Amino acid sequence: MRKGTLAYSVILLAILVSLVAFSPASAATIVGSAKFEPKRVDLSLSAPSVVKAEIHFESDGQPRWINISTVLLEGSLAPDSAYMDPLAVNTLIAEFDGQLVINIIWGKITHLGALAPPYKIWLTITGNLKDEYGGTPFSCIGSIKIIVHHTPPPPPPPT
């Protein structure tokens, strides 16, 4: 009885080890940076019509390898257009609807609570490379400076 239990334990252990040893490793995420234009947004004014993001990779991969259909700002907003910058090497420009970007910024402000100077909102652009480049995921982070107008407190009541 004991030999049977030991044999089953050894077989189970061998199966577990083989599953771990031969399972495909997940691809490492390529880290990059994003520069947004406009660099500053005044929340008391109307939204810009377009917010552009310049996507750069810091190490592996090149922005021209990006599968444009997978690009998302904050995991929810796809760009209206995306193209390689003809004036810069290895720079992908993604253009997002300005009002929708402002809505995302307001959502982050609401979630984070009161902003403290410097007024910056960090935004993340994610996606994957094209299949012929392994479909590797990427993540680029950048910030937009926010102009917040504070109204002065009301005057004290008369005494």
Least confident of 21-25, 40-44, 150-154: 21-25
Indicate whether 13 belongs to any domain: no
Indicate whether 134 belongs to any domain: yes
What integer is the mean pLDDT of 31-55? 94
pTM of the model: 0.74
The reported pLDDT for the residue numbered 22 is: 45
Indicate whether 137 belongs to any domain: yes
Reduced to 3 states, what is the DSSP secondary structure of residue 53?
A: strand
Indicate whether 120 belongs to any domain: yes
By percentage, how much of the chain surpasses pLDDT 90?
50
Indicate whether 152 belongs to any domain: no
Given a contact cutoff of 8 angstroms between Cβ atoms, the answer to whether 68 and 39 are in contact is no
Tokens, residue 122: 């960090």
- What's the angle, vertex CA 85, arms to CA 83 and CA 90, rounded to 5? 100
Q: Collect all residues with Cβ–Cβ distance below 8 Å to 89 and sequence separation of at least 6.
A: none
Could you write out the three-class secondary structure of 73-116?
ECCCECCCEEEECCCCCCCEEEEEEHHHHHHHHHHHHHHHCCCC
Indicate whether 21 belongs to any domain: no
What integer is the mean pLDDT of 3-26? 52
Given a contact cutoff of 8 angstroms between Cβ atoms, the answer to whether 71 and 32 are in contact is no
Binned at pLDDT 50, 70 and 90, residue 19 comes out as very low
Range of the domain at 93: 27-147
Query: What is the distance between the alpha carbons of residues 49 and 37, in angstroms, rounded to a whole number?
Result: 11
Given a contact cutoff of 8 angstroms between Cβ atoms, the answer to whether 114 and 123 are in contact is no
Indicate whether 54 belongs to any domain: yes
Indicate whether 12 belongs to any domain: no
CATH number at residue 130: 2.60.40
Our count of domains for the chain comes to: 1
